[in-house]
Amino acid sequence: MTGYQIFWPLLAHVALVYGLYALLGLRRAKMVRAGGIAKSDYRENRSEPAESLVVKNCLANQFELPVLFHVCCILLYITDADNIVTVGLAWAFVVLRYAHAAVHVTSNELRYRSPLFAAGYAVLAAMWIWLAVWMAIG
């Protein structure tokens, strides 16, 4: 590649994480204002209302598989293994994470969420396989 194209999908994922933090704060504030929970109840998070719990869980999910994504992108760049295909795969992974997050914080329907997760899993696997092949033949 000619520059830092592999890092744009990383930044897009970071934007998703920040957006989810904002959504979590808004939903929690709404629940406190509505009297559904006391502000102090969030200290230990033992009784998170469902409306904000789905966002909290979605946010936690952004620090699981996506951590491997960030590492892979950095390694692709360092090893000069990034190319138009890997950048495309990186964007596909991020788009799938956005779609997965959208389902997670709205309907939370597993019949939609699971295939989106599986697709992202497969895309990321392809990125890691390409990295391994690149290093093996390079």
What pLDDT is attached to residue 89? 98
Q: Which residues of the chain have pLDDT under 70?
A: 1-2
What pLDDT is attached to residue 38? 85
Q: Tell me the helix, strand and coil percentages in the chain, rounded to 5.
A: 80, 0, 20
What pLDDT is attached to residue 3? 87
Question: What does the alpha-carbon distance between residue 24 and residue 133 come to, in Å, rounded to a whole number?
Answer: 40
What pLDDT is attached to residue 12? 98
- For residue 23, CA distances in Å to 3, 20, 59, 63, 101 come to 33, 5, 10, 17, 11
Q: Which of 46, 47, 57 is nearest to 24 (CA)?
A: 57
- Count the Cβ atoms, other than its own, within 10 Å of residue 45: 10
Question: What does the alpha-carbon distance between residue 115 and residue 121 come to, in Å, rounded to a whole number?
Answer: 10
What pLDDT is attached to residue 100? 98
Question: What does the alpha-carbon distance between residue 121 and residue 50 come to, in Å, rounded to a whole number?
Answer: 26
Q: Which CATH class is domain 7-137?
A: mainly alpha
pLDDT tens digits along 23-49: 999 999 999 999 888 888 888 777 889
